């Protein structure tokens, strides 16, 4: 490992948010899969994390608080966005176009022409922050769909060093990608990275099919190797599938701690039913929360014998609350919870326990540990780390994972999990019934299979394989890329 080189992580958001409340800035840890994965590999490496602090706060206001909020040996560098940039780059291009489109929900897209120029302008702003904070020898690792043009902007600024990118969300098929008015420009810009990482082989396949259809003159594709090489006018780009994961050891050790075990027992006592089913999601329409609630309602309609015996604990973590579509989703979820509870609640039994807040880490682990069944049913998801976290926190190995076939995690966990189509409410209700009827031996066998697979392909393996890909394509004289995963 090269202790002298810094790792520069660039993502839309910093790993904590700086909210302005009554004129004062409040610093809160942020939630999300990208943050969970990256903070678990930061322990041993000098790192700079560049991102938006997530509010209207000025750089000078954030600067005073920022270092106290840094995880590990990491310096946070804020990129502050003006209100127009927040509206058109973040809410607009990123969340009204790329997020729904890449999750196959094109009818939710708003292809407003004015978003594109600001998306590019903000990508340039992040590129400038890299120039100001990194040395030519540092490793630059860009994350996610907000920053797809960043390598192109860095190249325009004269940067020649190796640039790596990881795509946390799905990459759509050509028929869906075709809807993007800037599809060819976007693909061409991506080819300025040296390494492109995707979650699954089907995302990688989709990316290559999009290249063939919309940027065929820009890259010659060698599709024989596991790590594809794309020969472009500026050089060779490697593209591969690197399924992201979690820190198995850290999660399982912490889940086994006395505090978490006690909290899980208390939760279980409060819920007081035979079967505790758990859902944990950021508030997002891709996570399939209303569909899941309807499937649970169907289960209660179909199986009177389960009344008073099953409870769904649904944790929803506030996210993107200032976007009207998300406010509508919150209302829809709350209406459904109220209507289902209104129909079925009886003395001493409430069918759905609804929690709308961010839990602290131990509370979250206690929820995983207390549950018999995790219901992870996104309509589409890059990976879904909640599915993996639930299984690793199950020290007793007796829980059952019901998992959407549309989550990237399904490719890895399909052998032990019960796979469902999240739109098939009947199928989801049947899967819950099936999971409840599994023998102890079946539950143990399934959960052990999943846990072995996550232990093998944990977050260090993910980071190491990504770094190896960077090193294998790096220019001569480039020192090996290392992310600080080894102790």
Tell me if 358 contacts ligand GDG by CB under 6 A.
Answer: yes
What residues between 234 and 263 interact with ligand GDG by CB under 6 A? 244
CA distances from 389 to 123, 370, 448, 469 (A): 32, 13, 14, 26
Out of 383, 435, 459, 483, which residue is the one contacting ligand GDG (CB under 6 A)? 383
Q: Is 460 in the site for ligand GDG (CB under 6 A)?
A: no
* 56 within 8 A of 63, measured Cβ to Cβ: no
CB atoms within 10 A of CB 89: 26
Indicate which single residue of 87, 105, 359, 419 sits in contact with ligand GDG (rule: CB under 6 A): 359
Question: DSSP secondary-structure letter at 94?
Answer: I
* 91 in active site: no
Going by their DSSP bridges, the two strands 275-282 and 373-376 should be labelled as parallel
- The rounded distance, in Å, linking the Cα atoms of 86 and 52 is 10
Whose CA is closest to 381, among 413, 426, 357, 359? 413
Task: Judge whether 307 counts as a catalytic residue.
Answer: no
Among 385, 417, 431, 454, binds ligand GDG (CB under 6 A): 385
- Which member of 247, 281, 372, 381 is catalytic? 381
Q: Measure the CA–CA gap between 373 and 155, rounded to whole angstroms.
A: 49
Looking at 123-131, 254-262, 294-302, 358-366, which segment touches ligand GDG (CB under 6 A)? 358-366
Nearer to ligand GDG, 138 or 381 (CB): 381
CB nearer ligand GDG, residue 116 or residue 145:
145
- Verify binding: residue 394, ligand GDG, rule CB under 6 A: no
38 contacts ligand GDG (rule: CB under 6 A): no
Catalytic residue among 103, 168, 275, 367: 168
When the beta carbons of 450 and 474 are compared against ligand GDG, the nearer one is 450
DSSP code of residue 300? H
Size of the site for ligand GDG (CB under 6 A): 24
Applying CB under 6 A, among 130, 187, 315, 429 the residue interacting with ligand GDG is 315
Helices (H) and strands (E) in the chain, counts: 19, 17
CB of residue 404 to ligand GDG, shortest distance in Å: 11
Interatomic CA distance for residues 360 and 346, integer angstroms: 31
Of 320, 255, 260, 295, nearest in space to 376 by CA: 295
Question: In 3D, which of 348, 484, 421, 403 has the Cα closest to residue 44?
Answer: 484
Closest distance between ligand GDG and the C-beta of residue 437, in Å? 27
Nearer to ligand GDG, 383 or 402 (CB): 383
Which H/E stretch holds residue 466?
helix 459-473
Confirm or reject binding of residue 381 to ligand GDG (CB under 6 A): yes
Task: Specify the residue, 62 or 316, whose C-beta has the smaller distance to ligand GDG.
Answer: 316
Give the residue from 96, 91, 119 showing the smallest Cα distance to 109: 96
Select 92 or 382, whichever has its Cβ closest to ligand GDG. 382
Please report how close the Cβ of residue 379 comes to ligand GDG at its closest, in angstroms: 12
Nearer to ligand GDG, 315 or 340 (CB): 315
Helix (H) or strand (E) holding 228: strand 228-232
User: Cβ closer to ligand GDG: 238 or 384?
Assistant: 384
The answer to whether residue 389 forms part of the interface with ligand GDG (CB under 6 A) is yes
Region from 41-49, 343-351, 354-362, 448-456 binding ligand GDG, contact rule CB under 6 A = 354-362
How many Cβ atoms from other residues are within 10 Å of residue 145's Cβ? 22
How far are the Cα atoms of 15, 208, 251, 462 from residue 254, in angstroms, in the given order? 21, 40, 5, 21
53-92 positions binding ligand GDG, by CB under 6 A = none
Q: CA–CA separation, 35 vs 70, rounded Å?
A: 12
Comparing CA positions, the residue from 316, 295, 338, 279 lying closest to residue 430 is: 295
Residue 278, CB half-sphere, CA atoms under 13 Å: how many? 26
Q: DSSP letter string over 368-429?
A: HHH-SEEEE--SSBS--HHHHHHHHH-TT---EEEEETTBTHHHHHTTTSEEE-TT-HHHHH
Binding to ligand GDG by CB under 6 A, coded x per residue (else -) over 140-169, reads ----------------------------xx
Smallest gap from Cβ 446 to ligand GDG, in A, equals: 20
**Does 125 participate in binding ligand GDG (rule CB under 6 A)?**
no
Q: Using the rule CB under 6 A, is 371 a contact of ligand GDG?
A: no
Q: Please, what is the angle between helix 183-190 and helix 201-214, to 10°? A: 120
* Interface with ligand GDG (CB under 6 A), residue from 15, 33, 422, 484: 33
380 binds ligand GDG (CB under 6 A): no
**Shortest CB 10 distance to ligand GDG, Å:** 15
Q: If binding is defined by CB under 6 A, does position 317 make contact with ligand GDG?
A: yes
Q: With contacts defined by CB under 6 A, name the span among 17-25, 125-133, 183-191, 379-387 that binds ligand GDG.
A: 379-387
- Summarize as ranges the residues that interact with ligand GDG (CB under 6 A): 31-34, 36-37, 168-169, 244, 280, 282, 315, 317, 358-359, 361, 364, 381-386, 389
Catalytic residue ranges: 168, 381
């Amino acid at each position: 490992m090269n202790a002298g080189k810094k790792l520069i992580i660039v993502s839309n958001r910093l790993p904590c948010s700086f909210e302005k409340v009554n004129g004062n800035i409040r610093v809160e840890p942020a939630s999300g899969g990208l943050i969970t994965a990256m903070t678990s590999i930061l322990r041993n490496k000098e790192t700079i994390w560049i991102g938006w602090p997530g509010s209207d706060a000025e750089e000078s206001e954030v600067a005073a608080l920022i270092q106290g909020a840094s995880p590990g040996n990491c310096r946070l560098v804020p990129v502050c966005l003006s209100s127009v940039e927040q509206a058109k780059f973040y809410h607009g291009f990123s969340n009204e176009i790329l997020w729904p489109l890449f999750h196959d929900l094109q009818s939710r897209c708003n292809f407003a022409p004015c978003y594109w120029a600001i998306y590019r302008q903000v990508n340039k702003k992040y590129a400038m922050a890299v120039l100001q904070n990194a040395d030519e020898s540092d490793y630059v690792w860009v994350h996610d769909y907000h920053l797809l043009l960043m390598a192109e902007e860095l190249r325009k600024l004269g940067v020649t060093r190796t640039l790596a990118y990881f795509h946390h969300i799905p990459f759509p098929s050509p028929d869906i990608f075709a809807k993007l008015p800037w599809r060819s420009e976007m693909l061409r810009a991506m080819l300025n990275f040296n390494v492109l990482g995707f979650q699954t082989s089907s995302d990688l396949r989709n990316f290559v099919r999009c290249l063939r259809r919309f940027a065929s003159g820009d890259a010659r594709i060698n599709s024989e190797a596991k790590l594809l090489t794309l020969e472009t006018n500026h050089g060779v780009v490697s593209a591969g599938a690197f399924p992201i994961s979690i820190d198995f050891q850290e999660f399982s050790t912490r889940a086994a701690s006395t505090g978490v075990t006690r909290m899980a027992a208390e939760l279980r006592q409060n819920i007081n039913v035979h079967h505790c089913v758990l859902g944990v999601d950021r508030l997002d329409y891709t996570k399939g929360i209303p569909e899941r609630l309807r499937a649970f309602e169907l289960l209660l309609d179909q199986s009177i014998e389960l009344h008073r015996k099953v409870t769904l604990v649904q944790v929803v973590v506030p996210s993107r609350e200032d976007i009207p579509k998300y406010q509508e989703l919150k209302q829809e979820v709350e209406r459904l919870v109220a209507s289902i509870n209104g129909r079925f609640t009886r003395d001493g039994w409430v069918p759905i326990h609804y929690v709308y807040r961010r839990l602290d880490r131990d509370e979250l682990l206690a929820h995983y540990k207390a549950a018999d069944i995790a219901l992870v049913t996104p309509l589409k998801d890059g990976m879904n780390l909640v599915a993996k976290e639930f299984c690793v926190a199950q020290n007793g190995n007796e829980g059952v994972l019901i998992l959407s076939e549309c989550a990237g995690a399904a490719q890895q966990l399909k052998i032990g999990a019960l796979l469902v189509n999240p739109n098939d409410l009947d199928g989801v209700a049947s899967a819950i019934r099936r999971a409840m009827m599994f023998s102890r031996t079946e539950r143990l066998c399934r959960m052990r299979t999943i846990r072995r697979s996550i232990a093998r392909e944990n977050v260090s393996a993910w980071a190491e394989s990504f770094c190896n890909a960077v090193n294998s394509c790096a220019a001569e004289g480039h020192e090996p890329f290392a992310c600080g995963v080894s102790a």
